[in-house]
Amino acid sequence: MRTRSKGLGGFVAIAAASVLAIGACGTSGGNGGDKTAQASPGFAACEAKPNSCNSGPTKAGGSIVVALEKTLPNFNIFDGDGNTFETAQVMNGLVPSPFIAQPDNSVAWNQVLLSEEPKLTNKSPQTVVYKIKKEAVWDDGSPIDAKDFQLYWKLNNGKDCKDCSPAGTTGYELIKSVEGSDNDKTVTVTFSDTYPDWQGLFGLYPQHLAGDWSTPAGLAKAYEGFKATPTWSGWAYKFADYQKDVSVTLVPNPKFWGPKPALEKITFKVVEDQAQQLPAMKNKELQMLISQPNQDMVTQVQGMAGVNYNLSKGPTWEHIDLNNKNAALKDVALRQAIFTAVNRQAIIDKTVGAFFKGAAPLNNHNIMVGAPDYKDVITATGQGAGNVAKAKEILTAAGYKIDGGKLMGKDGTAVPQLRFRYTNGNQLRQQTAELFQSQMKEIGIDVKIDPTAKLGNTLSTGDYDIIVFAWVGTPFLGGSQDLWATDGGSNYDKYSNPDVDKLLKDASKELDPSKMRQELNQADEIMAKDANVLPLYQKPVFLAVYSDYINIRNNPTNAGPTYNIEQWGLKADSVK
Amino acid sequence: MLAYTIRRVLVSIPVLLVASMIVFALSLFTGDPVQEKYAGRNPPPPPQTIANERHRLHLDDPIVVQYWNWLKNLLLHGDWGPSITSETNIGHELSHRLLVTTRLVLAAMIVALVLAVISGVLSATRQYSKLDYAFTFSGFVFLSMPAFWAAQLLKTGAVGYNEATGTRLFFTIGERSTDPPPGLWNTITDVFGHLVLPTISLALITYAGWSRFQRSSMLEVLNSDYVRLARAKGLSPRKVLLRHGLRTALIPMTTISALTIATIIGGAVITETVFQWNGMGSFLIKSIGARDRYAVMGWLLVSGFFVVVGNLVADILYGVLDPRIRYDS
């Protein structure tokens, strides 16, 4: 299902970080000993200091080859196709963005691009002011200014360019105007309605290379043009070479006004088969991996001499959903009993827990573990604990009976067989399905496992009783309405609760982040009691890099490890 | 012969057409490509994006119209249709990947052919000797070895060699280095370093089958009357073996080689995947995964074309090499 390729609408900034990097830091290899060893010279400090671990002085020069697991569809990061994690990793080197998602899941304003922190100058109408540094220029010397913001808005708002196919219009469609002043170095963005996730907006592309974009046809042409191999840069690196489906090579942008980047060459090499990355890493054809790991990958990297690795909880979280289209599952008591009988720890132990010591049940539907205002709304309900006795109590109290190992409904007929769907070929989900099936046997529910090769179709048509898939968390929580509200575009289970709807709506209009999260937690408590979706765990993200490099660290948000690409380098001789 | 060739080519056109129709119709059952592409995105893509994408991929036309437009544009304009990834030009992709696969396959086939002929001849001439048993044993080992495993073993060995010698003679991924060191010699060693492992990997598996084939073909010839006659006439054993025996025994080998090469050009899927070569096989796998209908159609036509040509070449060669066969008589 959806992996780290989605929700990159506002690019680096929106690249999300609903997850705090509480991850376990890895060991540099070569010892092949304790497979859960956590200390390493490079990443030992990451658990306590995710934003500053493995940092230090660099020496000039050097190069690095980084593996990408997917090819790059195009270079327009806000396009429906181009909006992937891999494209973002490359374009992080070129695209200036007002906010950058940090490894600890916070969002930091870009102090190289902007002269001061963007301010919310008015709440009604919501108005935000950005001040761009005077020295900020594209690599041809043209200024980075308000017109770049204007073009980005027009390409993404779904109104000005009907032939554009952006990945999302959220936020941009609520902007009323983008105006420049102070020689276009001050940008004032005014919204027609409240949009709390405003920090997730904008990643700039050069408007001066877009031709005449004053008409819809001109905008469409500009949109298409940005899909092509970039001949421009507004950040530390620029393209030197691109071989489709093979590699991208970046070299420093001489016009970059920030601190000079150390590495003189960064190559992203496409290696789509994860298993092939490992011998290539050992053979030093690759120096760095970014991956959603499996046990084999972690074990093998542990055995590689001179390689540091880091495992952190990622933004992708797995969950089990019950479909309200199924008449039997409409009964909240049955749903509660099912989730109470599910043993999440057993599922974790058999799946990601085998190689990720930090894996643990996730107990919130919106806010990831460690993020501000994360609240455990699940444990108190008793769900996910594998408590068969309590599940049976719930069922008995609601008039169900277990007769001859079969659960009989209130009307005396057997509860029908339930179809559990998972993505065909996804081993973790297959194991989850099998464990779920055996756990349900304990309360007399017959579960048929039925993999699907067409997950999109299965979800959109609601062709399941129970399903396991994943969402990607972000630090921008306004999208929660799409997931859980009655008319939410991604509410495939057709879950509906007016109280939840109201709280989610209030939260989506709340500019105070803390208050917003509290409203979401209130909604979440109701959702947990309604037992419609059971969060399982956050999947780990994995970074492995040779220990010669410094200032590289795992960023489990969608910004990815290249969020600070301009700081990467070889260790200065003084720190070796 | 010319009339025969033309007739065969003409017959193959409806075959390819029917195959393309069947594949196009079957692709209907693989699900809506746009829906699957955006599966589970939150927030979901705007309706405008979905509508634009469906229009671009002609999904808003009836299936018959879709097929007809595809065929018409291909024949009249050389347009292979839109890929699910908007920036991918299927025609360019196919021509590039065909070259990549051909380079891999031809190198491997030459190695396999030489090895198979030598071992087949030696096995047949020294039937039931230790050498014959050794070739037979190795042939069966390679035949029964899964291709991906053989490739991984080769990789492990190569990485071990590089580590032990402190060099990097062998590369494990790609067709060449993104940024090879300058100079002709360095370029040659770089290409060689990338080519050698996949070539050996593909060659070993092909060699295994072919060597058995060559052995039995050679044995059949060596026990035939005319070879016995040649010996009786007092010809030297070398002359009997090479001129009378091997020449005849190579006829079936020639045909099978032409057929195998044509088939493998469709994609040495496992070798390409393990060594991350962007060839025809990996193109097919990726296209199927992405439900990229027109890309699969393109692959079908190109690989189908090579199978047809391979069959034709095999038949023609058979006619040329074996005087008993005359197609036009």
How is A192-203 classified by DSSP, letter by letter?
A: SS--TTGGG---
- A40 forms beta bridges with none
Q: Do A170 and B43 touch (CB under 8 A)?
A: yes
What value does the mean pLDDT of chain B take?
Answer: 89
Q: Do A1 and B53 touch (CB under 8 A)?
A: no
pLDDT of residue B328: 59
Choose between A411 and A115: higher pLDDT. Answer: A115
| Closest chain B C-alpha to A493 CA, distance in angstroms | 13
| Closest chain B C-alpha to A453 CA, distance in angstroms | 8
The strands making up A114-123's β-sheet, listed across from edge to edge, are A114-123, A126-132, A186-191, A175-181
Pick from A76, A247, A276 the residue to mutate for testing the B interface (most B CBs within 10 Å).
A276
- Which residue among B53, B87, B274 places its CB closest to the CB of A74? B87
- Rounded mean pLDDT of A176-199? 96
Q: Do A265 and B155 touch (CB under 8 A)?
A: no
- Which residue among A2, A74, A285 places its CB closest to the CB of B41? A2
Q: Do B159 and A283 touch (CB under 8 A)?
A: yes
pLDDT of residue A91: 98
- A401/B133 Cα distance (integer angstroms): 69
Give contacts of A7 with chain B, Cβ < 8 Å. 41-43
Residue B99 near residue B280 (C-beta atoms within 8 A): no
Using a CB–CB cutoff of 8 Å, tell me whether A80 touches chain B: yes
pLDDT of residue B168: 86
- A267/A248 Cα distance (integer angstroms): 6
- A168/A6 Cα distance (integer angstroms): 10
Residue A3 near residue A470 (C-beta atoms within 8 A): yes
Q: For A461, name the nearest residue in chain B, comparing CA atoms only.
A: B35
The tens digit of pLDDT for each residue in A457-507 reads 899 899 999 999 999 888 788 788 889 999 888 899 999 999 999 999 999
pLDDT over 70 at B327, yes or no: no
3-state secondary structure (DSSP) of residue A44: helix
pLDDT over 70 at A277, yes or no: yes
Choose between A129 and B45: higher pLDDT. Answer: A129
Which pairs count as long-range contacts for B151-155, CB under 8 Å and 24+ apart, including other chains?
B151/B197, B151/B198, B151/B201, B151/B270, B151/B271, B151/B274, B151/B275, B152/A279, B152/B274, B154/B197, B154/B200, B154/B201, B155/A279, B155/B197, B155/B274
- B276/A67 Cα distance (integer angstroms): 12
Q: What would the two tokens of residue A506 be?
A: 């209030």
Q: What would the two tokens of residue A5 be?
A: 């390729």
- Find, among B77, B131, B85, the residue nearest to B293 by Cα: B85
Q: For B156, name the nearest residue in chain A, comparing CA atoms only.
A: A279
Using a CB–CB cutoff of 8 Å, tell me whether B145 touches chain A: no
Give the pairing type, strands A265-270 and A247-252. antiparallel
- A102/A19 Cα distance (integer angstroms): 10
Give contacts of B97 with chain A, Cβ < 8 Å. none
pLDDT of residue A31: 35
Residues 6+ apart with CB under 8 A from A224: none
Give contacts of B278 with chain A, Cβ < 8 Å. 245-246
Using a CB–CB cutoff of 8 Å, tell me whether A159 touches chain B: no
Report percent pLDDT > 90 for chain A.
76
- Which residue among B85, B156, B178 places its CB closest to the CB of A243? B178
pLDDT over 60 at A9, yes or no: no
pLDDT category, A12, cuts 50, 70, 90?
Answer: very low
Mark which residues 79-98 of B lie under 8 Å from A by CB: 85-88
The tens digit of pLDDT for each residue in A126-163 reads 999 999 999 999 999 999 999 999 999 999 999 999 99
pLDDT category, A4, cuts 50, 70, 90?
Answer: very low
- Find, among A280, A275, A283, the residue nearest to A299 by Cα: A275
Q: Do B48 and A158 touch (CB under 8 A)?
A: yes
Q: What would the two tokens of residue A536 be?
A: 């399982």
Residues 6+ apart with CB under 8 A from A495: A324, A484, A486, A527, A530, A532, A533
- Rounded mean pLDDT of B155-175? 93
- Find, among B282, B288, B290, B289, the residue nearest to B266 by Cα: B282
Give contacts of A286 with chain B, Cβ < 8 Å. 173
Q: For A6, name the nearest residue in chain B, comparing CA atoms only.
A: B41
Using a CB–CB cutoff of 8 Å, tell me whether B183 touches chain A: no
- The pTM of the full predicted model, rounded to 2 decimals, is 0.88
- A223/A157 Cα distance (integer angstroms): 12
pLDDT over 80 at B18, yes or no: yes
Q: What angle do CA A504, A510, A512 make, to 5 degrees?
A: 130
Q: Do B43 and A168 touch (CB under 8 A)?
A: yes
Mark which residues 189-248 of B lie under 8 Å from A by CB: none
What residue type is assigned to position B329 of the chain?
S
Mark which residues 1-30 of A lie under 8 Å from B by CB: 1-2, 6-7
Backbone angles phi, psi at A419, to 5 degrees: -90, 120
CA A393 to chain centre: 38
Question: Whats the size of chain B, residue-wise?
Answer: 329
Using a CB–CB cutoff of 8 Å, tell me whether A307 touches chain B: no
pLDDT over 50 at B116, yes or no: yes
Q: For A63, name the nearest residue in chain B, comparing CA atoms only.
A: B179
- Which residue among B42, B53, B172 places its CB closest to the CB of A283? B172
End-to-end CA gap in chain B: 9
pLDDT over 60 at A18, yes or no: no
pLDDT over 50 at B85, yes or no: yes
pLDDT over 70 at B248, yes or no: yes
Dihedral-angle region of residue B78 (phi above 0 means left; psi in -120 to 50 means alpha; beta otherwise): left
Q: Percent helix, strand, coil in chain B (nearest 5)?
A: 75, 0, 25
- A201/A97 Cα distance (integer angstroms): 9
Q: For A569, what's the count of Cα atoms within 13 Å in the CB-facing half-sphere? A: 19
pLDDT category, A28, cuts 50, 70, 90?
Answer: very low
Q: For A42, what's the count of Cα atoms within 13 Å in the CB-facing half-sphere? A: 24
Neighbours of A64 (CB within 10 A): 21
Give contacts of B168 with chain A, Cβ < 8 Å. 283-285
Residue A468 near residue A320 (C-beta atoms within 8 A): yes
pLDDT of residue B264: 82
Residue found under tokens 């005319």: B226
Q: For B161, name the nearest residue in chain A, comparing CA atoms only.
A: A283
Using a CB–CB cutoff of 8 Å, tell me whether B287 touches chain A: no
Backbone angles phi, psi at B283, to 5 degrees: -65, -45
The tens digit of pLDDT for each residue in B122-135 reads 999 998 999 999 99
Q: For A69, name the nearest residue in chain B, comparing CA atoms only.
A: B276
| Closest chain B C-alpha to A460 CA, distance in angstroms | 8
The tens digit of pLDDT for each residue in A34-61 reads 334 343 557 888 888 889 999 999 999 9
Q: For B39, name the nearest residue in chain A, comparing CA atoms only.
A: A456
Distances (CA, A) of A383 to A39, A377, A467, A534: 34, 10, 17, 8
> Helices A332-341 and A513-530 meet at what angle, rounded to 10?
100
Least-confidence region, from B173-177, B266-270, B297-301: B266-270
Pick from A66, A79, A173, A244 the residue to mutate for testing the B interface (most B CBs within 10 Å).
A244
C-alpha dihedral (A217, A223, A229, A231), degrees to nearest 10: 80
Q: For B38, name the nearest residue in chain A, comparing CA atoms only.
A: A456
Residues 6+ apart with CB under 8 A from B2: none
| Closest chain A C-alpha to B271 CA, distance in angstroms | 12
Q: For B274, name the nearest residue in chain A, comparing CA atoms only.
A: A276
CA A30 to chain centre: 31
Which ipTM did the prediction report?
0.87
What value does the mean pLDDT of chain A take?
Answer: 90
- A560/A568 Cα distance (integer angstroms): 13
Mark which residues 249-288 of A lie under 8 Å from B by CB: 249, 265, 267, 269-273, 276, 279-280, 282-286
pLDDT of residue B11: 86
Using a CB–CB cutoff of 8 Å, tell me whether B289 touches chain A: no
Least-confidence region, from A9-18, A393-402, A415-424, B108-117: A9-18
Using a CB–CB cutoff of 8 Å, tell me whether B168 touches chain A: yes
- A461/B96 Cα distance (integer angstroms): 39
Domain range B89-289, its CATH number among 3.50.50.60, 3.40.190.10, 3.40.50.1450, 1.10.3720.10: 1.10.3720.10
- A197/A509 Cα distance (integer angstroms): 10
Backbone angles phi, psi at A204, to 5 degrees: -90, 135
> Helices A274-282 and B147-165 meet at what angle, rounded to 10?
20
- Rounded mean pLDDT of A317-327? 96
